[in-house]
Amino acid sequence: MFVSYNLENFGKELKKIRTNLGYNQADVQKLVGVSIDTIRKIESGRVVPRYDTLELLSVAYKRDLLELLKSCRSNKFLMEFHEDLDYIITVYDKDAAAELKKRLLDNFSSEDQMSIINPLELEQFICFVDAVEAYYSDFASDRENTKAALIDALRLTIPDFKIVRYKQYTYGYIEFRILLFISLFIAKEGSYKLSNKILYYILNTISDSSYTTKYIDFLIINIYFNLAYNYHMLDEHTKVIETADKGIAFCIEHRTCHALFSLYYRKGIAQFNLRDKGYLESITMAFYILKAMGMQKLLEQYQKITEDKYGIWVNM
């Protein structure tokens, strides 16, 4: 994945830190030896600062400027749309998907915005948004065509990508998300074991990473949920519980409710299928989480599905 930076924003933040400390550029030069010309170029957004320069400036500014630079990565703009997309996938809101795509295009319509982002990543993300509708389609041809489109989207940044060789490539965040979604289309075709192999590969790869963000955490939680769902479809209910419990523990450790209701729900249904009396507690917990998050419409949908399919009614 190509990474670029919004150097103008980074420069503005750097200047703000310096002035808040009461330093002029000459003061900084005297403190750590970085030339006034270099400071001026960085603050005006004209150059990508060197690692050693940022280390020196971090000493003067008493701030980790490497982390500040990371926060100015241009693909951060795209990542912020992923949270909205996760919600849309969960509740399948076609109108929200269309609105997200419009906001995405509007946000990157100007030359200034396009100059700070890799256009191939934008194209990949738009393909991802379009794929959501096809994922819920009743027509197998829609899903097959969209799976092919997602593979083509990966080939924008991994030109020789083939699904049979998925372990041979190096992926960035957005590419991992596309690969995950491809695995869901594979599951829709009934190939749950292959889907799980891909999901475990992604999970093991990103879990070994020394650099993590909330977006990586959310991706890990999504993987646990989809693994649990695939095991549900394979009638491996003990595996559902084991996987859901790992996901729940991860959520608790990282203090997030992201997809937590889904994990409790999958656990509860698996317990019900195994005639474990704890099923009602798990399902009730899932519904309380939905209620606490203000997702009333989704709560009502889950209540109805649970009553119609399993004969279980949980009054909220």
Q: 40-54 pLDDT, tens per residue?
A: 999 998 887 888 898
Shared domain for 291 and 169, answered yes or no, is no
Q: Are 80 and 185 within one domain?
A: yes
Distance (Å) of CA 35 to CA 29, 61, 279: 5, 15, 66
Residue 278 and residue 301: Cα distance in Å, rounded? 22
Residues 88, 152, single domain; the answer is yes
Alpha-carbon distance 78 to 122, whole Å? Answer: 7
Q: Is 282 exposed, middle or buried (0-12, 13-18, 19+ CB in 10 A)?
A: buried
Same-domain status, 96 and 203? yes
Kindly state the percentage of the chain with pLDDT values over 70. Answer: 90
Task: Decide if pLDDT at 211 tops 60.
Answer: no
Q: Which of 23, 51, 71 is the last residue of a domain?
A: 71
**Residue 283, token pair as written in the block:** 């399902």
**pLDDT above 90 for 38:** yes
Is the domain of 63 the same as that of 129? Answer: no
For residues 102 and 204, state if they share a domain. yes
Distance CA 168, CA 181 (A): 18
3-state secondary structure of 290: helix
Number of domains in the chain: 3
Domain boundary among 71, 91, 125: 71
CB atoms within 10 A of CB 133: 15
pLDDT band at 114 (very low <50, low <70, confident <90, very high): very low
Q: Which residue has the higher pLDDT, 112 or 215?
A: 215
Is there a single domain that holds both residue 63 and residue 121? no
Same domain, residue pair 246 and 190: no
Q: Is 266 in the same domain as 179? A: no
End-to-end CA distance of the chain: 45
In a domain, 226, yes or no: no
Over 60: is that where the pLDDT of 74 sits? Answer: no
H or E stretch at 233: helix 214-233
- For 170-204, the pLDDT digits (tens) are 888 888 999 999 999 999 999 999 999 999 999 99
Residue 304 resides in a domain: yes
Mean pLDDT of the chain: 87
Is the alpha carbon torsion for 78, 79, 83, 86 positive or negative? positive
> Quick one: 163 and 239 in the same domain?
no
Question: On the CB side of 252, how many CA atoms lie within 13 Å of its CA?
Answer: 8
Do 24 and 65 belong to one domain? yes
Neighbouring C-alpha atoms within 13 Å toward the C-beta of 20: 9
Residue 230 in domain: no
Q: Are residues 50 and 87 in the same domain?
A: no
How far apart CA 10 and CA 44 sit, in angstroms, is 9
Within-domain flag for 1: no
More confident residue, 212 or 269: 269
Range of the domain at 287: 235-316
Predicted TM-score (pTM) of the model is: 0.75
Task: Please tell me the least confidently modeled range out of 29-38, 139-148, 224-233.
Answer: 139-148
Residue that terminates a domain, selected from 71, 86, 107: 71
Q: Is residue 277 part of a domain?
A: yes
